[in-house]
Amino acid sequence: MVDVITREIVQHALAAAGDEMAVALYRTAYSTIVRDCLDYSTSLTNADGEMIAQGVTIPFHLGAVPSAMKTLFEKFGDNMHEGDVFILNDPFDGGMHIPDIFIVQPIFWNGQRVAFSVATAHHLDLGGRLPGSSACDNTEIFQDGFRIPWLKLSRRGEPDEAILTLLRADVRLPQLTLGDVYAQLAACHIGERAIHDLIRRYGVETFTTCANDSIAYTEKLMRAEIASWQDGSATFADYMDNDGLGGGPVKIQVTITKHGDSLTADFTGSSPQIRGAMNSTLSFTASVVAMCVRAVLRQDIPNTAGIFKPLNILAPEGTVVNCVMPAASSMRGVTGFRVADTVFGALAQLLPERVLAAGEGGNTLVIIGGERADKSRYIFYELMAGTWGARPDRDGNDGLCNPGNVASNIPIEQAETEYPIRVERYGYVPDTGGAGKFRGGLAIEREWHLLRGEAHLAIRSDRRAHPPYGLFGGKNGTGSVNVLRHAADGNEGNEGTGEILPTMISTAMRAGERIYHRLAGGGGFGNPFTREAALVARDVKNGKISVRAAREEYGVVLNERFEVDEAATDDQRRMTNE
């Protein structure tokens, strides 16, 4: 038996170790996708591969580790020794999608395996059909990139040079790819050091007991909170605009059933797996569901494997949320965001006071790949972070990354220093957040100007034909926009002139051309005519909404000083209600 205080201390020490691993990876990474966009995660597991801590990194990676560790044990069993390190990115062998590499290091103490360090990072390039190893119009996994099933990257402390040689040969920017792999290894070593420090302090038996107890404790908290909800079932469906190749909308449907102290998410009714590269593996879908449930909890619970114990995920094989070989999945991130919107939409019917309206629909991905003047290759990889939907008690956050992610926009100075790119525009767009008692967050716009040469351009965006939904009377946010402005086109602000591009596209870009993107705006929450008039006036003064929108969307009439005309506002709202 271990006393509660010791268990709490060890539990928080493990969480701190996960964060320390994350900082180490961030500070030693080479590529912008890891170093600046922050697309990576770190975690620790017990000796059986069950997660006992996760760094404060990508929430969508929360449930990926259990699936990866399960397949690792199936393949290697107890063929694990001190100094071994394992590598994986194959979505059909426990991974998520080709760009995400798992590095896993077993941790030993006096010859006994006591834990694992895990570092997952999205890599700038892993070969494949196009620069960045991601394209919505890939049609099979072999186009996505270099596929790595579970292999030993190191054997008893000796690196396998054959694997490293293959990596160098099959990627476009080997220095950056290998540099990020070494950063992941550094993070795993930090995790090993933290585990050893805990064992020195408390002993291996106390450490093992505390690690396992933390999983049981998390499950207990999860089940207790779920049990406090009213039993019931709710179904919700949402859509991606197309399949990545111009096909029709892609449906994601879920039925959430709460019974007792457990929750079932059934995705029956979702579209079959698609031709394009947005297919999701079951492990990623389950990870997103866990994140959504975690987000509506009132309890502050540890990030351990106990989160998954009360959850049952059902997804028919061969669907877009549980794809099978040889489905492409390099752009499956947008599917994860839509799965989250769908799960939140169902949870809103069961827990209306806890769920926010839909946000921008997930980070837009923009990849520009080409050659510099000296013939060296570059891949500019931007995860454009966006905005939140309105919440039950306050407005949506403007310009804050989707709750399912912690990605960051690349600083303009960084982008312009390292790449032949100039950022011409970056900021909020007025009148884009859905109207409501609480307003949806404003859309973000950004424009990139290619300064020299030719480049390949890939865009993964969404939420144009199916804008972010509002809840309980709140209006939808505005849809997204992509415009390619040719050198001869003007610069007339916002969309301006130019060629309207699909939400998902792979195309060419030439010097002098600019790509403009506006994310979708967040949905509103509640009846807009119940919003406090003073808040509407404040938004007008701050440039977030126009005088026209104040009158038409909220029924608020302002004078020339942007002050509320109370009598005219009362008349406007009364006439609209009538």
Amino acid identity for residue 288 in this structure: V
547 and 498, same structural domain?
Answer: no
CA distances from 197 to 11, 12, 14, 109, 554 (A): 14, 14, 11, 11, 59
pTM of full prediction above 0.85: yes
At residue 492, does pLDDT exceed 80? Answer: no
Tell me: the pLDDT tens digits for 136-151? 999 999 999 999 999 9
540 and 519, same structural domain?
Answer: no
215 and 77, same structural domain?
Answer: yes
The structure tokens listed for 124 are 């700038």
61 and 140, same structural domain?
Answer: yes
Q: Is residue 510 part of a domain?
A: yes
Q: Is residue 227 part of a domain?
A: no
Burial class (CB in 10 A: 0-12, 13-18, 19+), 376: exposed
**Distance between CA atoms of residues 83 and 96, nearest Å:** 25
pLDDT at 464: 96
151 and 86, same structural domain?
Answer: yes
Q: Is residue 410 part of a domain?
A: yes
DSSP state of 98: T
pLDDT at 490: 64
At residue 487, does pLDDT exceed 90? Answer: no
Tell me: the pLDDT tens digits for 60-75? 877 788 889 999 999 9
Q: Is residue 493 part of a domain?
A: yes
Q: Is residue 42 part of a domain?
A: yes
DSSP state of 410: P
Q: Categorize the per-residue pLDDT at 408 as very low, low, confident or very high, splitting at 50, 70 and 90.
A: confident
**Distance between CA atoms of residues 308 and 291, nearest Å:** 10
Amino acid identity for residue 419 in this structure: Y
Q: Categorize the per-residue pLDDT at 496 as very low, low, confident or very high, splitting at 50, 70 and 90.
A: low
What total number of domains does the chain contain? 3
Please name the residue that has the structure tokens 């009598």: 567
pLDDT at 468: 97
Strands (DSSP E) contained in 73-205 are 85-88, 100-109, 112-122, 151-155, 158-159
Residue among 380, 385, 459, 449 nearest 421 (CA): 449
Q: Which residue has the higher pLDDT, 253 or 35?
A: 253
Tell me the residue range of the domain where 399 lies: 356-531
572 and 429, same structural domain?
Answer: no
Contact indicator for 401, 60 with CB cutoff of 8 Å: no
549 and 486, same structural domain?
Answer: no
Average pLDDT over residues 388-410: 90
Domain end residue (candidates: 219, 250, 281): 219
Tell me: the pLDDT tens digits for 316-346? 999 999 999 999 999 999 999 999 999 999 9
Tell me: the pLDDT tens digits for 202-254? 999 999 999 999 999 999 999 999 999 999 999 999 999 999 998 999 999 99
499 and 552, same structural domain?
Answer: no
Q: Categorize the per-residue pLDDT at 571 as very low, low, confident or very high, splitting at 50, 70 and 90.
A: confident
174 and 91, same structural domain?
Answer: yes
449 and 568, same structural domain?
Answer: no
Average pLDDT over residues 11-26: 95
Domain end residue (candidates: 186, 219, 252): 219
47 and 180, same structural domain?
Answer: yes
Tell me: the pLDDT tens digits for 284-299? 999 999 999 999 999 8
Q: Helix or strand or coil: residue 542?
A: coil
Q: Is residue 373 part of a domain?
A: yes
Residue among 291, 406, 31 nearest 184 (CA): 31
> DSSP of 318-334, one letter per residue?
TBTTB--TT---TTTHH
Of all residues in the chain, what percent carry a pLDDT higher than 90? 84
CA distances from 511 to 101, 414, 504 (A): 33, 20, 21
* β-pairing verdict for 151-155 and 158-159: antiparallel
At residue 493, does pLDDT exceed 60? Answer: no
- At 128, which helix (H) or strand (E)? none
At residue 541, does pLDDT exceed 60? Answer: yes
- At 485, which helix (H) or strand (E)? strand 481-485
Average pLDDT of every residue of the chain: 93
104 and 209, same structural domain?
Answer: yes
Q: Is residue 240 part of a domain?
A: no
Domain end residue (candidates: 191, 219, 247): 219
Q: Is residue 304 part of a domain?
A: no
pLDDT at 57: 84
Average pLDDT over residues 439-450: 96
